[in-house]
Amino acid sequence: MKDVVRRYITRNPKLQAGKDLKKIVSKLIHIEKKDFDREYNLWLGKYKDFLKERTYNEEGKWVYTHQRLRSAVNSINRYRQYLFTYQSNRWLKPTNNSLEGTNAGLKGYFSVHSGLRPDRKLKLVHHYLKERSKFEWGSQK
């Protein structure tokens, strides 16, 4: 979610609303759900009218003035219910770094075995994930 918001409001937002939102989102993996909800709702209340501002474009149609900021807010609102799943399920990690490592390993397998048919690639993925899960969950047999 941090990357999604950064994509919309950039690394160095010029608007104060963007700067404040960036501060709130940067705390995502270090904050409890209730604290995030409180801060985010305060931010929404403060900038509610700002987000509703509209201007007319060259064709005479109105558009939201701060569309990229609105897109960031819409993304947060859409995925808000899933952001803190790792807090209620302690075995989940707050980041996807381990997933990225898994993907890198799979890419390595595919580069070595580049000529596999699709059904055999599927078997390779299944085998790789099965073997990896044995070591991660401590259920070696």
CB 40 within 8 A of CB 13: no
Residue 123 tokens read as 């078997």
Q: What is the model's pLDDT at position 93?
A: 65
Q: Where are the domains of the chain?
A: 2-88, 97-136
pTM of this prediction exceeds 0.75: no
**Cα–Cα separations (whole angstroms), residue 55 to 5, 14, 47, 136, 141:** 23, 19, 17, 53, 65
**Helix, strand, or coil here: 42?**
helix
Q: What are phi and psi of 116, to 5 degrees?
A: -75, 145
HSE on the CB side for 37, CA within 13 Å? 9
Structure tokens given for 111: 């580069």
For residue 121, what pLDDT is reported?
Answer: 84
| Alpha helices by DSSP H, the chain | 2-9, 16-26, 33-51, 67-79, 85-88, 97-112, 118-136
pLDDT tens-place values along the chain, 141 residues long: 899 999 999 999 999 999 999 999 999 888 899 999 999 999 999 999 999 999 998 898 999 999 999 999 999 999 998 888 877 776 666 666 666 667 777 777 777 777 888 898 888 888 877 877 765 554 444
